[in-house]
Amino acid sequence: MAYKTLYLRILDMVGFLSTTYPLLALSGFSNKILDLFTNADPCIDYGGFFGESKIDILKQIPAQYLPQTVFITQGCSFEFVLEQIKTLEYPLICKPNVGERGTEVEKITDEKALKSYFDSHPIDFIIQEYIDYDIELGVLYYRLPNEEQGYVSSVVKKEFLSVIGDGTSSIETLMQQSTRARFQLENMKKRLGMDFYKIPQRHERILLEPIGNHCRGTKFLNGNELINEQLHEVFNKIAKPIEGFHYGRFDMRVRSIQDLYKGQYIRVMELNGVSAEPGHIYDPEYKLLKAYKDLAYHWRIIANISIQQQKLGIKPVPTKVLWKVIKQHFGK
């Protein structure tokens, strides 16, 4: 999984470089294009390209937009974990402090499940309160260093993996009938146990996966119709207090769209830096050529941010340092 993630990141960067090279050459920075993206967000390790600490990022987001969060360091006792979460209620969300694409993110329903996660993950990890708001969004925001105001450039709406009962078919059968759900059959069989064979009532919706990640069956839908001046203003209030932040995607839940525009009942679970893609392009109905154009548009934004940062004296992380970090991540 980690190698696949790195491969996808490399593909992103190849496209990024091929798209932005002319712009960089004209600006006098063509000799630094291999690592230029790393200075877009100096407040995030390596700009958020790879191996960044989630808790270090969350600490920089205004507290009113965060779920209750506890950081668990490797080597502590389970009794210490229980002490840290005594103000929280189940269910909880556990996730690695350094992780990619929803890997090892789990919804924890009781102390037994928490102990199991703790025992099987001898790493630094994060525990968050579970936010049960119905709406989950990925909101991509950017602000050029020489501009006071930033903009939302992409909104993806997340439709969680679920099946709808017909009164006669089991969850297993319903999943087999779904192109998207059948890829998660083995995972659901392990997770649901005997409930995997339960027969839902007619029209009953069964939520299979509460984690809003593409590789775990969540459908990404184009939500760019939500972008307006109100949304720009809301995310300027959220993002501008983060010193050094210029580009990234807020993965969040909100109680309603009305609350979104009011800037209330918003909970940011994660903030991804320069590697964050505009998630709306993964909508099954979105045209491939348009998706490539949207990617190129965002790559050019990153290039412009980097150029301005370098003029301000904020240099990219050297390529050799990036390779060292990647090798350390894979234990080489």
Cα–Cα–Cα angle for 315, 316, 317, rounded to 5 degrees: 120
151-159 and 205-207 beta bridge pairing: unpaired
Q: What is the mean pLDDT of residues 251-264?
A: 97
Cis bond before residue 200 (omega within 30° of 0):
no
Q: How far is residue 90's CA from residue 92's CA, in Å, rounded to a whole number?
A: 5
pLDDT at 32 over 70: no
Instruction: Provide the whole-model pTM.
Output: 0.84
The residues facing 152 across adjacent strands are 141
Task: Inform me whether the pLDDT recorded for 9 exceeds 60.
Answer: no
Was domain 17-65+131-159+212-332 assigned CATH 3.30.160? no
**More reliable by pLDDT, 104 or 35:** 104
Q: What is the pLDDT of residue 74?
A: 92
> In this predicted model, which residue has the larger pLDDT, 125 or 103?
125
Whether 68-130 and 17-65+131-159+212-332 are alike in CATH topology: the answer is no
Q: How confident is the model at residue 90 (pLDDT cuts 50, 70, 90)?
A: very high
Q: How far is CA 227 from the centre of its chain?
A: 19
Specify whether domain 68-130 bears CATH 3.30.70.1560.
no
Q: What is the DSSP string of 203-251?
A: T-EEE---S--GGGTPEEEE-GGG-SHHHHHHHHHHHTTSTT--EEEEE
* Beta-carbon-side half-sphere exposure of residue 77 (alpha carbons within 13 Å): 3
Which of left, alpha, beta for 221 (phi over 0: left; psi -120 to 50: alpha)?
beta
The average pLDDT across 315-321 equals 80
Mean per-residue pLDDT of the chain: 86
**Structure tokens that stand for 135 in this block:** 């709406």
Of the two residues 109 and 28, the one the predictor is more confident about is 109
Buried b / exposed e over 311-329, threshold 16 CB at 10 Å, is eeeeebbeeeebeebbeee
Query: What whole-number percentage of the chain has pLDDT above 90?
Result: 64
Q: What's the alpha-carbon Rg for the chain, to the nearest Å?
A: 21
Contacts of 126 (CB under 8 A, 6+ apart): 54, 55, 58, 69, 70, 71, 72, 94, 95, 96, 97
**Residue 29 pLDDT exceeds 80:** no
Give the chain's count of helices (H) and strands (E): 10, 11
Quote the CA–CA distance of 102 and 96 in Å, as a whole number: 9
Domain coordinates in residue numbering, the chain:
17-65+131-159+212-332, 68-130, 162-208
Give 290's pLDDT tier (boundaries 50, 70, 90): very high
Contact 302, 33 (CB under 8 A): no
Q: Looking at residue 322, what is its pLDDT?
A: 74
pLDDT value, residue 16 = 47
- In tens, the pLDDT along 177-208 reads 988 888 888 888 888 889 999 999 999 999 88
Distance (Å, rounded) from C-alpha 67 to C-alpha 63?
A: 8
